[in-house]
């Protein structure tokens, strides 16, 4: 009691609070931001190596450039598709009331619960035209590009719909109603009044989708391996991320690959950051040519049956392109040929490792992410806070494979890749999940009237008491949402894991190995276990957020 | 209970000066209303007292103790915000017990505090309701009980009646003040509503652009404003601009460039000095017949219940307003020519403001 009070007094001191803030910001700088972009320094220190081994080797250069071009092409197409098919669904969720809305709402998030390795495998066996396709699969796609685009749409789609729904919910519908009472048809009102207002949401959605697609490694490797019916080799269709994964595992035995690996990572990181800046600037600045109005045709399009067709096709797309491929794996297992006997021991080991990593990562994210979020949200006008707010996005946009490799180099002075690989994996996963917690909590804190906490302070509460008793109950839901996002992302991550520790043994990596060995039934079983566990985590989230008091 | 003193408080937000050398003394157990237009710096002054805003310079004293850098929770000055900020995750009772819980009051004492406060604010039956289930008036009483439960020295009220219906607002004025008096609290009540301030305050401090422009009892502030701004902001005034042509201890006379000469109170403005004469709308009389100095045309009549508000356009002077009893409303019609008059001791002479009269009267 007495010591508890003394501890409370101590941590409420201004000096202590300053020190704590400094600690949190340093953690963010040295464990999240710096390791993420550390690889850029390689270009300075080892430029001669890059010059000798990469720039002067046309074959390697070709490979790198073509893989990066492919990565960006895919990401751009995926983002555009997500927007076109996500908008009608977001609209339905934000503006309409219909039976089964709650159900649709849950459906959208389903792919998020599935680790990308499992998702990649599930979608690949559904689409890929293999010599011996499983029952009920479409098996129509033989081109790797199309397959990967379809795959990336599956797991980036929810991000776009969520971002658009959030911003649509915030835009006051009365603008549109005013427009319509002034004589505009529904389509005209929406197009000229509402759409220009939601560019901010579009930027968020586009960045998230683009970054997800650019980052994706595990699912992509699995899908390609399934399509080819063998492990990937250097000459295959490559994205930037898969190339890093491939070279990274080869670099263990062939150190001459290091400069090429560094170069492709640097390029990916720089281009991703440049893209972030460009997207932010252009979408907010460019004036879309939305003023022109075509009254007659727009009035016609506003009438039945066009809106109905629009909604219908959006739903059909959701079901056929997103949901069915996500969960096709269950059909595959149910109708599958002899399941063989899974050697459970290594799989259980990998599962335990994955959960251990995800749990530790989530705990660290929460303990050190919430304070940073509070700092950012409460010092909005401060320069430092604004800078931190921008920096938090960096690990989100940097492709995780490049991030993982950068991190491996950053921590290489510790020399623990062999002795303590788990620690490296944890550090890598913290780097790209930390922003998820911070972003969620910043958003929530900004939504709470600061008067609550101020009143609590004048009523005699110390800062920590006012957080725990007043603010925490109000933002609990968002904290949990961030935690579950971090947990599932860590659980499903392949690219960063492979890049930071070449012979890691987490569950998604294990699944990649199974697919490479063409142990499809076993891979499917492993996927399902992973999906079920992730889905349980998701249910947990929904239950807790429902309890939230509005 | 302490005397609260603000000494030379300055606070700038990027491009706005919210406090510009603000001085104010709130006496022990006094109910002081801080009255001013929107954006005058009322809330900033309140937040500085509460410790939620740190001033750029100046001191905050509770009695002789300098509390300028003290944390909010160490001041025993409770803020009641406009929206009450009842914690939405807690019930009425939990809200009230927030303060006692924080300072680990013994359980029996907590129970006693809760029972007596629920009774005091008449919420005993709603103890386990959530704030959103309460009416506006109940929420206000709940927030008040929560504030009192911490046994504060100073109560800071930020527009405490603003969110209520007009009728309830008037009922609660008395209740709030008598409660504060019964508990012997030092109260600073921020408002932009002059009626509220006149009814409730022991003293009123009129604030404008981050400075206190006048402090005094409601009667002093209403009857003896020290500037045209206060004359107009606390009970609207009509203005006559001219030059002082006569000044004696009994009274003065002011004449405009059209040769119209009006009578007013004695003044310090020297003969020949430019002056603005202010007369409260309520002290302005309309005269149907007979010779008056000022004459004008009725432009508008607004029925307000017991009185009728009449706007009269006077040539070169603009609009003069007056209130006439509703029973007299048939005597005047829009377009009538009427005379305007007032008794000499209701007219106050101010030196003509440097920035012009319009600028002086601006409320933004």
Here the tokens at position A189 are 């009102």
Region of B272 please: left (phi>0), alpha (psi -120 to 50) or beta: left
Contacts of A450 in chain B (CB under 8 A): none
Here the tokens at position B334 are 């829009």
Tell me which of A548 and B139 has the higher pLDDT.
B139
* pLDDT score, position A1: 47
* pLDDT score, position B92: 95
The chain B residue lying nearest A550, using CA atoms, is B88
d(CA B214, CA B258): 33
Supply the mean pLDDT for chain A: 83
Q: How far is B78 from chain A, CA to nearest CA, in Å?
A: 5
Q: Which of the residues B73, B96, B105, B132 would you substitute to probe the A interface, choosing the one with the greatest number of A C-beta atoms within 10 Å?
A: B73
Q: According to DSSP H, which parts of chain B are helical?
A: 42-50, 92-96, 98-102, 107-120, 136-149, 166-183, 194-200, 218-223, 228-233, 357-361
Tell me which of A59 and B107 has the higher pLDDT.
B107
H/E element holding A73?
A: helix A58-95
**Nearest CB to B89 within list A381, A460, A473:** A473
B89/A465 CB distance under 8 A: no
pLDDT at A141 over 80: no
* pLDDT score, position B328: 85
Tell me which of A67 and A116 has the higher pLDDT.
A67
Q: How confident is the model at residue A412 (pLDDT cuts 50, 70, 90)?
A: confident
* pLDDT score, position B360: 87
* pLDDT score, position A17: 86
A459/B85 CB distance under 8 A: no
pLDDT at A546 over 70: no
Q: What residues in chain B have per-residue pLDDT under 70? A: none
Q: How confident is the model at residue A548 (pLDDT cuts 50, 70, 90)?
A: very low
Q: How confident is the model at residue A342 (pLDDT cuts 50, 70, 90)?
A: low
Contacts of B76 in chain A (CB under 8 A): 460
Q: What residues of B are in the A interface, CB distance below 8 Å?
A: 14, 50-52, 71-73, 75-83, 85, 87-89, 98-99, 101-103, 130, 146-147, 150, 156
Q: Please, what is the end-to-end C-alpha distance for chain A in angstroms? A: 34
d(CA B194, CA B204): 10
Q: Are A146 and A224 in contact (CB under 8 A)?
A: no
H/E element holding A366?
A: helix A344-378
A381/B77 CB distance under 8 A: no
pLDDT at A130 over 70: yes
Cis omega (within 30 of 0) for bond into A305: yes
Q: How many CB atoms lie within 10 A of CB A113?
A: 24
Question: How many A/B residue pairs have CB atoms within 8 Å?
Answer: 73
**Nearest CB to B81 within list A451, A460, A469:** A451
pLDDT at A5 over 80: no
**Nearest CB to A459 within list B71, B83, B99:** B99
Contacts of A456 in chain B (CB under 8 A): 87, 98
| CB contact set of B314 (below 8 Å; sequence gap of 6+) | B294, B295, B296, B320, B340
B150/A460 CB distance under 8 A: yes
Residue A384, helix vs strand vs coil: helix
- Residue whose structure tokens are 């009892």: B217
Distance of CA B158 to the CA centre of its chain: 12
Q: Over pLDDT 90: what percentage of chain A?
A: 17
Q: What residues of A are in the B interface, CB distance below 8 Å?
A: 12, 14, 381, 449, 451-452, 454-462, 465, 469-470, 473-474, 549-550
Q: Are A219 and A227 in contact (CB under 8 A)?
A: no
d(CA B170, CA B196): 8
Q: What is the pLDDT of residues A92-110, one digit of tens each?
A: 888 888 887 878 877 787 7
The chain A residue lying nearest B145, using CA atoms, is A459
> Has this prediction a pTM greater than 0.90?
no
Q: How confident is the model at residue A550 (pLDDT cuts 50, 70, 90)?
A: very low
d(CA A475, CA A378): 14
* pLDDT score, position A2: 59
A12/B71 CB distance under 8 A: yes
The chain B residue lying nearest A461, using CA atoms, is B73
Q: What is the pLDDT of residues A502-517, one digit of tens each?
A: 778 888 888 888 888 8
Q: Are B320 and B341 in contact (CB under 8 A)?
A: no
Distance set, CA B107 to CA A386, A500, B110, B143 (Å): 45, 56, 5, 21
d(CA A113, CA A494): 15
**Nearest CB to A457 within list B73, B88, B146:** B73
Q: How far is B47 from chain A, CA to nearest CA, in Å?
A: 10
**Bridge-partner residues for B246, per DSSP?**
B253
The complex's ipTM works out to: 0.83
Region of B80 please: left (phi>0), alpha (psi -120 to 50) or beta: beta
Q: How confident is the model at residue A152 (pLDDT cuts 50, 70, 90)?
A: very high
Q: How far is B247 from chain A, CA to nearest CA, in Å?
A: 53
- Residue whose structure tokens are 């249910």: A539
Q: Are A422 and A468 in contact (CB under 8 A)?
A: no
Contacts of A451 in chain B (CB under 8 A): 81-83, 85
Contacts of B147 in chain A (CB under 8 A): 459
| CB contact set of B264 (below 8 Å; sequence gap of 6+) | B251, B252, B253, B254, B277, B344, B347, B348, B349
Q: How far is B3 from chain A, CA to nearest CA, in Å?
A: 18
B89/A462 CB distance under 8 A: no
A414-452: burial string, b at 16+ Cβ within 10 Å, e else: eeebeeebbbbbbbbbbbbbbbbbbbbbbbbbeebeebb
Q: How far is B187 from chain A, CA to nearest CA, in Å?
A: 14
Q: Are A550 and A137 in contact (CB under 8 A)?
A: no
* pLDDT score, position A283: 65
Q: Are B298 and B336 in contact (CB under 8 A)?
A: yes
Nearest to A211 by CA among A249, A241, A246: A241
Nearest to A113 by CA among A404, A540, A495: A540
- Residue whose structure tokens are 């005094």: B216
Q: What is the pLDDT of residues A7-40, one digit of tens each?
A: 787 777 778 888 999 999 999 999 999 988 898 8
**Bridge-partner residues for B280, per DSSP?**
B237
Q: How far is A450 from chain B, CA to nearest CA, in Å?
A: 9
Q: How many CB atoms lie within 10 A of CB B331?
A: 13
Distance of CA A388 to the CA centre of its chain: 20
The chain A residue lying nearest B89, using CA atoms, is A549
* pLDDT score, position A336: 60
User: Residues B339, B342, B346, CA angle at the centre, nearest 5°?
Assistant: 160
Q: How confident is the model at residue A251 (pLDDT cuts 50, 70, 90)?
A: confident
d(CA A441, CA A373): 6
Region of A125 please: left (phi>0), alpha (psi -120 to 50) or beta: alpha
B85/A451 CB distance under 8 A: yes
For residues A150-160, give the mean pLDDT: 88
Distance of CA B216 to the CA centre of its chain: 11
Q: What is the pLDDT of residues A211-248, one digit of tens each?
A: 889 888 888 888 888 888 888 777 788 888 888 888 88
H/E element holding B351?
A: strand B348-351
Q: What is the pLDDT of residues B303-321, one digit of tens each?
A: 988 899 999 999 888 889 9
Flag the least confident range among A21-25, A277-281, A443-447, B119-123.
A277-281
H/E element holding B298?
A: strand B294-303
A550/B150 CB distance under 8 A: no
Q: How confident is the model at residue A338 (pLDDT cuts 50, 70, 90)?
A: low
* pLDDT score, position A532: 84
């Amino acid at each position: 009691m007495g010591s508890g009070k003394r501890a409370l007094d101590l941590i409420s001191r201004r000096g202590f609070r300053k020190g704590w803030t400094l600690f949190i910001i340093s953690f963010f700088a040295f464990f999240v931001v710096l390791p993420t972009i550390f690889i850029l320094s390689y270009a300075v220190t080892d430029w001669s190596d890059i010059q000798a081994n990469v720039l002067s080797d046309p074959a390697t250069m070709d490979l790198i450039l073509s893989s990066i071009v492919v990565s960006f092409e895919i990401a751009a197409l995926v983002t555009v598709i997500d927007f076109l098919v996500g908008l009608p669904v977001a609209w339905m969720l934000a503006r309409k009331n219909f039976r089964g809305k709650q159900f649709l709402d849950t459906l959208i998030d389903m792919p998020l619960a599935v680790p990308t390795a499992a998702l990649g495998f599930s979608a690949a066996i559904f689409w890929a035209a293999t010599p011996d396709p499983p029952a009920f699969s479409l098996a129509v796609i033989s081109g790797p590009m199309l397959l990967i685009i379809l795959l990336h749409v599956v797991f980036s789609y929810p991000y776009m719909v969520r971002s658009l729904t959030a911003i649509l919910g915030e835009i006051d519908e009365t603008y549109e109603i005013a427009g319509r009472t002034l004589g505009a048809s529904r389509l005209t009102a929406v197009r000229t009044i509402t759409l220009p207002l939601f560019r901010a949401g579009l930027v968020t959605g586009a960045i998230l989708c683009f970054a997800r697609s650019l980052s994706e490694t595990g699912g992509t490797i699995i899908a390609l391996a399934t399509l080819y019916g063998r492990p990937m080799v250097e000459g295959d269709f490559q994205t930037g991320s898969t190339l890093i994964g491939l070279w990274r595992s080869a670099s263990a035995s062939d150190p001459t690959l290091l400069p090429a690996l560094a170069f492709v990572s640097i390029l990916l990181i720089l281009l991703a950051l440049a893209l972030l800046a460009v997207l932010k600037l252009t979408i907010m600045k460019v004036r879309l040519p939305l003023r022109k109005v075509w009254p007659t045709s727009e009035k016609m399009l506003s009438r039945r049956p066009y809106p109905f067709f629009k909604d219908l096709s959006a739903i059909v797309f959701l079901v056929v392109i997103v949901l069915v491929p996500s969960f096709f794996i269950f059909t595959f297992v149910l109708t599958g040929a002899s399941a063989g006997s899974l050697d459970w021991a290594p799989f259980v080991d990998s599962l335990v490792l994955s959960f251990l990593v995800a749990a530790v990562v989530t705990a660290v994210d929460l303990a050190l992410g919430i304070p940073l979020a509070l700092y950012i949200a409460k010092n909005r006008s401060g320069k430092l806070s604004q800078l931190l707010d921008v920096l938090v996005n960096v690990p989100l946009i940097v492709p995780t494979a490049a991030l993982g490799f950068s991190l491996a180099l950053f921590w290489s002075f510790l020399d623990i890749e062999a002795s303590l690989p788990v620690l490296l994996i944890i550090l890598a996963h913290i780097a790209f999940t930390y922003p998820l917690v911070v972003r969620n909590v910043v958003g929530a804190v900004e939504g709470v009237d600061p008067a609550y906490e101020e009143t609590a302070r004048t009523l005699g509460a110390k800062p920590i008491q006012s957080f725990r008793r007043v603010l925490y109950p109000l933002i609990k839901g968002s904290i949990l949402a961030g935690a579950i996002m971090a947990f599932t992302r860590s659980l499903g991550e392949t690219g960063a894991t492979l890049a930071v520790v070449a012979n890691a043994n987490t569950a998604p990596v294990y699944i990649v190995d199974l697919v490479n060995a063409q142990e499809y039934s076993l891979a499917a079983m492993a996927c399902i276990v992973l999906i079920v566990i992730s889905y349980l985590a998701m249910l947990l989230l929904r239950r807790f957020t429902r309890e939230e008091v509005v | 209970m302490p005397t609260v003193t603000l000494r030379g408080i300055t606070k700038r937000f990027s491009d706005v000066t919210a406090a510009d050398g603000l001085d104010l003394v709130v006496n022990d157990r006094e109910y002081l209303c801080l009255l001013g237009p929107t954006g005058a710096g009322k809330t900033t002054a309140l937040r500085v007292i509460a410790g939620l805003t740190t001033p750029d310079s100046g001191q905050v004293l509770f009695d002789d103790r300098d509390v300028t850098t003290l944390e909010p929770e160490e001041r025993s000055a409770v803020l009641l915000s406009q929206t009450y900020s009842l914690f939405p995750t807690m019930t009425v009772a939990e809200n009230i017990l927030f303060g006692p819980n924080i300072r680990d009051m013994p359980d029996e004492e907590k129970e006693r505090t809760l029972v007596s406060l629920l009774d005091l604010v008449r919420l005993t039956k709603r103890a386990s309701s959530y704030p959103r289930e309460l009416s506006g008036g109940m929420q206000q009483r709940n927030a008040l009980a929560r504030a009192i439960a911490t046994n504060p020295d100073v109560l800071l009220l930020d527009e405490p009646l603003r969110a209520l219906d007009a009728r309830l607002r008037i009922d609660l004025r008395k209740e709030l003040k008598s409660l504060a008096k019964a508990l012997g609290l030092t109260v600073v009540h921020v408002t932009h509503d002059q009626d509220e301030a006149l009814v409730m305050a022991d003293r009123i401090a009129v604030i404008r652009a981050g400075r206190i422009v006048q402090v005094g009892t409601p009667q002093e502030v209403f009857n003896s404003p020290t500037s045209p701004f206060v004359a107009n902001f606390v009970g609207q005034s009509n203005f006559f601009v001219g030059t002082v042509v006569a000044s004696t201890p009994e009274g003065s006379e002011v004449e405009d460039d059209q040769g119209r000469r009006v009578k007013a109170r004695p003044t310090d403005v020297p003969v020949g000095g430019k002056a603005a004469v202010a007369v409260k709308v309520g002290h302005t009389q309309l005269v149907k017949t007979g010779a008056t100095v000022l004459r004008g045309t009725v432009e508008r009549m607004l029925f307000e219940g017991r009185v009728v508000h009449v706007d009269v356009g006077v040539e070169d002077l603009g609009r003069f307003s007056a209130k006439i009893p509703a029973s007299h409303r048939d005597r005047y019609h829009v377009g009538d020519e009427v005379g305007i008059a007032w008794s000499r001791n209701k007219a106050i002479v101010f030196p003509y403001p440097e920035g012009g009269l319009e600028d002086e009267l601006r409320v933004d």
